Structure 1
């Protein structure tokens, strides 16, 4: 049996995501959770991962339950060091717990599962050309994450609602907005969206794909 590593761009363990993984993984599978921001204070995060005007950003969760917006390029550089460390700890498969698009992350030997590469083609195959409506955490990500959805039959329509604000009504409102604009299937494009968010979005009356649930089920086939 191999060893699974997970890497969040926030701080590990992600107690909102790990139960979804645990539900589909073998109980005796060794696993190691790591985070790009592990051990850092908020002031250190703001110093080292501060956003750059006009550049892509990401949002993630800290151990204290709060969220933070960080620069994507700086996050990617730090994530590579964490990947190297997970491999050094013997992880044979590493799952990225972020749906954001990264260009250059690599492993040497471990199988590396990136949601931003898995989701577009999988959703395209599942939905057979249906109009996809995507809920992203931040409005800025509607443009910065657009390129990864090229495998879809038609460009998605998007709305923003954060999974980290505790506002389920905002998720429902975003879903209803997407339905009114022609969406036929909804995708929650952030690993921070959990089952409560899926239920809130489903109030719009459309099928809802939860990114972390779909990716976890696919990952379970390889470990």
Structure 2
């Protein structure tokens, strides 16, 4: 067995070509990764059937191997996430990183050390910003409400804008960033694992503000742990 076996779990299809390079940049050289996805091996029809968006339900969006994006109901995704965590443990992973910033209450591993971005990123951002106005960029407008509870520790209620990392144009991303700046944001948090360094550069250039990239922050915390 390698010195360190890390499991990663995306709610999309693995490996995530947009996220794994960011992880690899920061992780120690002796870390070996097993990448799993909730949607591995599933076609669009099966995804729509197994993860329907129910009326009034919170939604999540993610990336497939072909680069396309899908939207899924959160309730069904949560059950599938737990099943995949169990699978990663059975494969020998003793550290597992969830590659999704959505809130999933009650996830658990028997032995593995589970890192959940929704429990890690908000406290770090709260400490870093120290009372400043935070702007949150999310993929879907509906997530401004459904994912907002995790930011309750901020001293000031955050402001929001939406632009998908999967199908927004640079112009749409710029417009969302400027919307946050117009709402007096002093720092911007890109609250989705699908945002990349390219997206961060666009937002920073458009606003001149500090930009926190959730997956890069997770990678740095993982590196510190491993």
TM-score (norm 1): 0.98
Mapping for residues 43-122 of structure 1, pairs under 5 Å: 43-122=45-124
1:39-82 deviation per Cα after TM superposition (whole angstroms, max 9, x unaligned): 11110000000101111000000011100000111000011010
1:124-170 deviation per Cα after TM superposition (whole angstroms, max 9, x unaligned): 00111110000000000000001110111111000000000151111
Could you say which residue in structure 2 is the equivalent of 1:21?
23
Mind listing any 5+ residue stretches in structure 2 that lack a counterpart? none
Could you say which residue in structure 1 is the equivalent of 2:216?
213
Could you say which residue in structure 2 is the equivalent of 1:151?
153
Mind listing any 5+ residue stretches in structure 1 that lack a counterpart? none
* 1:169–1:200 contact (8 Å) kept in structure 2: no
* 2:4–2:30 contact (8 Å) kept in structure 1: no
Rounded to whole Å, the distance in 2 between the matches of 1:168 and 1:80 is 35
Runs of 4+ in 1 over 4 A off after TM superposition: none
TM-score (norm 2): 0.97
RMSD value, Cα: 0.8
Deviates more, 1:13-22 or 1:171-180: 171-180
Rounded to whole Å, the distance in 1 between the matches of 2:109 and 2:225 is 16
1:70-112 deviation per Cα after TM superposition (whole angstroms, max 9, x unaligned): 0111000011010000000000100000000111211111000
Shift of 1:27: 2.3
Q: Does 1:39 align with 2:41?
A: yes
Total equivalences in the alignment = 223
